[in-house]
Structure 1
Amino acid sequence: MGMTNAERQRKFRLARDADPQRRQAYLNKCKKKYKDDIAVGKKKLVKDMTEREHRREKKKNGGKDKKKLRKRQKDAHEMTKSLETPPQSPSSDTNASSRQKKQADRRKKKEVAKCYRINKTLELEIKHLQKKAEMYKKRWQREKIKARGHTEDSPRTMTKTLLRNFPVGKKKVKKALFQFHVLVEQLKKNMQSKRRLRSSGSQEISQVPC
């Protein structure tokens, strides 16, 4: 397999930098071009830049130069490594491992697809069961209301019904609470009168001569 243009350029730069004379000639050429660019106004010195141009130039070239330097160092290391070690010839073990990896990937994809199908089926079944449960719950509530119509409500049921409709049936709640307090007061009076009767009866019995 032939080299790419980038690889050819890296190889050329490595060969050029390996020769001190060629390296110096290249640097002199770069310096001359830089001076020519300044003379024609293509580039500016820092003292000739405005503050805004200076900030923009620093921001543009600061990270870019470091990135280029790291890339050149990495490319040089890879090129040196590739020149020192010849490429390995493909072996049968590599082909076998790649074939096994493809088969394992296919099996994994099939298992994942199967899990997705099972999950989808279970989700549909859960939704169906939830609908049935809601339907039976409503039926039970209707039957309970029907049965309640033939029997008297307990005090707790009546209280809950009044409180549930409190904003609408405020007068009913007020009346029920009034009746409750009247009933409690009457029960208290009855209990007190019974206690008095019992105490007076016991005193009469104790005063009877033997």
Structure 2
Amino acid sequence: MALSNAERQRRFRAKRDAVPAEREKYLMKGRERYKQECNSGKRKPVEQLAEREKRPIRKRWRIQKRKDRARERETRNIFDNIQTPVSSSDERQSIRNKSSIKRKRREEAKVYRDKRKLEPEVSNLQKKVAMFKKRLYRKTEECSKLTPDTPKKRTRKLLRHLSSKDAKRSLFKCEVIMEAIRRTWRKEKGQSRFYQIPLQSNS
């Protein structure tokens, strides 16, 4: 079956456009012809046309530009497939492993940077905690001075600041003094009166 004129033209254009150099040569001739026709007055430049006449021309340009970009992508993909050999499964696994290692290193670097950024803040918080501890200690000391000094409190203070040996010595002295006081009271008030005084020892 014989081809129609339109089909022959379509095949001719497809064959011509398949070669980038031939396609560029055709476009260059078209641009030169357009300039010559504009200079001779046979055709008006697009910028001199009315807005109604510009719209179909620009539409054709956009369609042609999309076709050109699609053709360039297809040609580039074909060229890349020819140049790049098909990688084996081991090579693909190696690429994935390298990508995983890079990602892990990026995450570790980010954690390190975040840690360095937070160090001054942590240091300031530690200083504030120490400062508030000192304030609390001073307030506690002030409050303890305002409360009455009871025998129980004096005993705690004595045991807090003395060693075991010093505490035993102090308690022994207290017992000696208490015994002396008891003897004095026995002589003055008698045995029955002595057992009623609040200075009795529980030892």
Q: Normalization by structure 2: what TM-score?
A: 0.35
TM-score by length of 1: 0.34
Higher relative contact order (CA 8 A, sep 6+): 1
Higher Cα Rg: structure 1 or 2?
Answer: 2
